[in-house]
Structure 1
Amino acid sequence: MEHILATAEKKVLVKLVKLVQKLRLEGRNVGWKEFLNVYDKQAGSSLSDPSRRSKDVLVAFLSTLEKKQDIKLLARVLKPNPYLAEDFKQESPDETAEQRLVRMTITDDEYLLDYLFPSNAEDWLVTGTGKKKSEAKKSTKIEMVAIDCEMVQCEDGSDAVVRVAAVDRDLKVILDEFVKPDQPVVDYRTDITGLTAEDVENATTVSVVDIQENLQMFLSEDTILVGQSLNHDMKVLKIDHPRVIDTSLVFKYKYPGSRKPRKLQRPSLNYLCKSILGYEVQKDGVPHNCVDDAAAAMKLVLAIVEKEVETSVPVTKEMLETAKSRLYLHRIPHNVPTEELIEVVSRESTPKIKFGKPSKKQGSGYYSAIVVFNSPAEANQAFENIDGDLGKDSAGLTQKQVFLKQSSSSGPRLYFHVRKMVEDDSAKEISATKRSYQEEKKASCKKQKREYDSEETREVDVNHCGEEKTEEKIEKLREDDLIQEIEELKQKLKAKDQMIDYLKKQLRKKKKTVSVK
């Protein structure tokens, strides 16, 4: 694997490191940033953007991944795929509108993570590879099939398909079947699916294998599979198809500011239908219908292909206000109680906390949470009051690294990250105005000093003496602030040094274990 990584292009390695970061994978018990702190003492994790690191550093980190499932993941990503080849990703003069939408889907930053299926498993069906459409059946239209599934929650926590629908380019229903889950169901999500246990028991049901066989008849190499958040449907159906158009990746929010929200969800199918098609496909209090949802996804694609509608949709004021009223907490250690989070994030109010599920992909006991405040002003004030290291996340958005209280002197200090859901442009404008004012004031002072120095007499009147004493006091206060800031930085550096020492010990233990074996 190390040889394969060494011969890979740097841009591929950059994507791999970013993928590893998103999945919270760790090589030899350390993640990307912890690795940088040990590997490069001078820059450390302060230069954590993979694209700004050398190829040797990227290869060195990826080579530390030793778990069998992690190595398989790297192999799947590095495996040549004609539909992910660079020439396919580039716009060409003879590119059709449909091909452009496929390219927009597979070049999206989220595609690699969403569509990384375990398609080498026995129960998975890989379609459309080498199966060309016969000359007799070819037409001027590129074939497209839209699918949508209704899902239930099983006893083991996984999702299972309970109904699946598919429509062709002409919106003709080519498949509408009930599916019998192969696991006990604990939640039929009736408010969403509109289905109960009795509905499924009384209906004629088929298996996932039957659905795979039925869909395989429609999916040649040239066929494009269409859907909203299509990866979820393909996952429950255990189908891997190379050419896809995901409307949740194709359509993007058009933000009024210069910075994008970090955690604002993708446009929903219902919102896209209202914005692009002029109708609601999912009304409040009414269960979904997978036939209608599949047809809606196809209509959205046809609106781009045939009517050349824009792929950007506006963000409503309500969306932005909601996002600005929240803070996103991530990489929270599993043993940190809610009370401690509230104490760190907000001391003056009691916001609501929405907890994210612990990610199975992380595998190291971390979870996330969203803190909901009453207003954007309250959220901004809470962020300003948080005591933490100010920095940027992987998308360049402002966040703070917050160290938690140590329960004992041994072991590294625990921490988590807090970031805004939306970068506030007005705050940047205020900051720029302050800088401009300070620069003007400094220039004015320099001018006055030059004028004063050029005078032949150096007499100082009483008022000027008073001003000098005031300036001395201000300078003294500034010195005190700087001294305090230096002491705080020393404490934070000490904590980071403790973390580095701890990681080094872990590495030494690992090496000893390997040598003994």
Structure 2
Amino acid sequence: MEHKLATAEKKVLVDLVKTVQKRSLEGEKGGWKEFLNVYDKKIGSSLSDPSRRTNDVLVAFLTTFKKKEDLQLFARVLQCDSNRNLIEKFKEENPDKETPEQRLVRMTIAHREYPIDYTFPSYAEDWFVSEMGKKKSKVMKSTRMLAVDCEMVECEDGSEALVRVGAVDRDLNVVLDKYVKPDKLVVNYKTEITGVTAEDLEKATLTVADIQKKLRRFLSKGTILVGHSLNKDLSVLKIDHARVIDTSMVFKYDGAPTVRRPSLNNLCKSVLGHEVRKEGATHNCVHDAAAAMKLVLAVVEKGVDTTIAQSEEMMEAEKERLKGETAKLLLHKIPNIVPSQDLQGVITGDFTVEVKPPKKEGGFYTAVITFNSPEEANQAFDKVDGDLAKDRVGLPQKLVVFKLSSGLGASLYVRKMVEDGEENSTKRRSDTEENNVSSKRQKREDVSEETREEANVNRRILESLCEYHVKEIEELKRKLEAKEVEVQAQDTIIAKLKKKLKKQSKAQP
């Protein structure tokens, strides 16, 4: 593995580090930021963007992982890169033979978030990993397609469980529509979204393994799996398949923020001219699978452009959605030792708190803070005492160091749900090339200032934490001094009593 990492391209190494960050994995020297603080004493984790680090630093970090499951995960990411290279090689060798289906597979794999979203823990025994086999060129030419969609419920440990799966073929024939028996205790059926009730599952007998067997016969011949945010469906199905078309990655709105993926319903309105479901209606996995297939067929058979314009209705709907998002703040990277009631001391104002459990036991948890209006949320964010920065997708956030009710110090991030001014972005279109060049030039000029600001983060954290600890030490010293005074007083009393007893003993005949 060390040789593969040392010879890998920087883009692959960056994808690996981002995958590690997303899964909160730690090597022998901790997580990514902990490693940087030890490896790079001068800058430390203030420059934590892996794309701005050298290959040597990235490789040095990745080689600190020794666990079998971590190395298997790395192997899957490298396999993703291999698949991507295979597709690019096929395109170069057959420039006139790339099918429309293959182009959409390539567009999905080329998406910047594909390596993160489609890297699964498929080393686990209960996962099914499809293989291309020896006849890769034949597999690459296959135009077979199968659209899949799943309904999931929330379990007691915070994970999601598969409860219904639907699949349609290229001719929109339903080839699978089954309920699945969850293997964990369900705490939320999310019926208003999934349409699934406890009664629906009373007679369910199929397991995830049974569904895998039913799908294997399709996947063994190079079939392309189609879906919208398909990675979520494959995750609960526990299937790792190399050839996929994800409509949330293939389609994009002209002029829309790149961090926002279009919804299935909006895509259907833009491309197909109708909705998948009316507002407020529950999901139907068969209908959603068919909708994703229709979107792909519109590109493959009718030549529909994957970059589409938003209608006035969609822009207004997006504006309303953003208005709702701007009335919220996200608290994340909250240590599990922080009681949820202590969050009230971090944010001021009138709000409600929705706590979301950590993805893994003992990990960080998050909380969504909802205010009555965007103005109240902005005011609360401005009042937060913390260092202003941006997260990996450019959203404003502050690092907050605070004191718990127990007296210990802790830290977390307070982040806005949308980028500043994004509520007006639906009315903007792409900048001209001149503006893009100017923007890039300005960004380069701002790098040194940004780096200096980032470099102060750790120092401020340490200063704040030290301040808490100094106060704690001073309080302990005060208590100790009081105890010493009390002990001295007790010693004086004891000495007097001893002296008195001694006199009395001498006075006795």
Q: What's 1:298 paired with?
A: 293
Which secondary structure does the structure 1 equivalent of 2:233 belong to? helix
Q: What's 1:417 paired with?
A: 413
Q: What TM-score does the superposition give when structure 2 sets the normalisation length?
A: 0.72
Aligned residue identity for 1:421: M
Give how far 1:146 is off: 0.6
Q: What's 2:306 paired with?
A: 310
Give how far 1:318 is off: 0.8
> Unaligned regions of 5+ residues in structure 2, if any?
425-452, 470-509
Which secondary structure does the structure 2 equivalent of 1:218 belong to? helix
Q: What's 1:513 paired with?
A: none
Inter-CA distance 182–489: structure 2 relative to 1 (3 Å threshold): closer
Aligned residue identity for 1:268: S
CA distance in 2, matches of 1:86, 1:297: 25
Q: What TM-score does the superposition give when structure 1 sets the normalisation length?
A: 0.71
Give how far 1:249 is off: 2.3
Inter-CA distance 38–185: structure 2 relative to 1 (3 Å threshold): closer
Q: What's 1:440 paired with?
A: none
Which secondary structure does the structure 1 equivalent of 2:322 belong to? helix
CA contact (8 A) 1:166 1:294 kept: yes
Inter-CA distance 106–42: structure 2 relative to 1 (3 Å threshold): same
CA distance in 1, matches of 2:167, 2:209: 16
Q: What's 1:104 paired with?
A: 107
Which secondary structure does the structure 2 equivalent of 1:293 belong to? helix
CA offsets 1:373-405 (integer angstroms, 9 cap, x no match): 233333222222221112232234432211112
CA contact (8 A) 1:328 1:420 kept: yes
Aligned residue pairs total 428
Q: What's 2:440 paired with?
A: none
CA offsets 1:387-443 (integer angstroms, 9 cap, x no match): 11122322344322111127789x8x5211122222224999xxxxxxxxxxxxxxx
Which secondary structure does the structure 1 equivalent of 2:218 belong to? coil
CA contact (8 A) 1:208 1:237 kept: yes
1:343-422 → structure 2 map (5 Å cutoff): 343-346=345-348, 349-360=349-360, 364-405=362-403, 413-422=409-418
Aligned residue identity for 2:235: K
CA distance in 2, matches of 1:319, 1:492: 36
1:69-468 → structure 2 map (5 Å cutoff): 69-79=69-79, 82-85=82-85, 88=88, 93-94=95-96, 95-127=98-130, 129-130=132-133, 142-154=143-155, 158-183=159-184, 185=186, 187-202=188-203, 206-254=206-254, 266-307=261-302, 308-312=304-308, 314=310, 315=315, 316-346=318-348, 349-360=349-360, 364-405=362-403, 413-425=409-421
Inter-CA distance 9–497: structure 2 relative to 1 (3 Å threshold): farther
CA offsets 1:321-346 (integer angstroms, 9 cap, x no match): 22222222211122334454333232
Inter-CA distance 17–275: structure 2 relative to 1 (3 Å threshold): same
CA contact (8 A) 1:167 1:295 kept: yes
> Unaligned regions of 5+ residues in structure 1, if any?
429-484, 502-517
Aligned residue identity for 1:395: V
CA contact (8 A) 1:332 1:368 kept: yes
1:483-498 → structure 2 map (5 Å cutoff): 492=460, 494-495=462-463
CA contact (8 A) 2:144 2:222 kept: yes
CA distance in 1, matches of 2:35, 2:252: 34
CA offsets 1:87-137 (integer angstroms, 9 cap, x no match): 6289754333222221222222332232222334443333352286999xx
CA distance in 1, matches of 2:325, 2:33: 28
Identity value in percent: 58
CA offsets 1:63-88 (integer angstroms, 9 cap, x no match): 22344432332233234764232762
RMSD: 3.8
Inter-CA distance 402–174: structure 2 relative to 1 (3 Å threshold): same
Which secondary structure does the structure 1 equivalent of 2:165 belong to? strand
Aligned residue identity for 2:389: G
CA contact (8 A) 1:128 1:223 kept: no
CA distance in 1, matches of 2:244, 2:384: 43
Which secondary structure does the structure 1 equivalent of 2:346 belong to? helix
Give how far 1:169 is off: 1.2
Q: What's 1:463 paired with?
A: none
Which secondary structure does the structure 1 equivalent of 2:150 belong to? strand
Aligned residue identity for 2:167: A
CA distance in 2, matches of 1:489, 1:149: 42
Aligned residue identity for 2:419: E
Comparing 390-399 with 49-58, which one deviates more in the overlay? 390-399
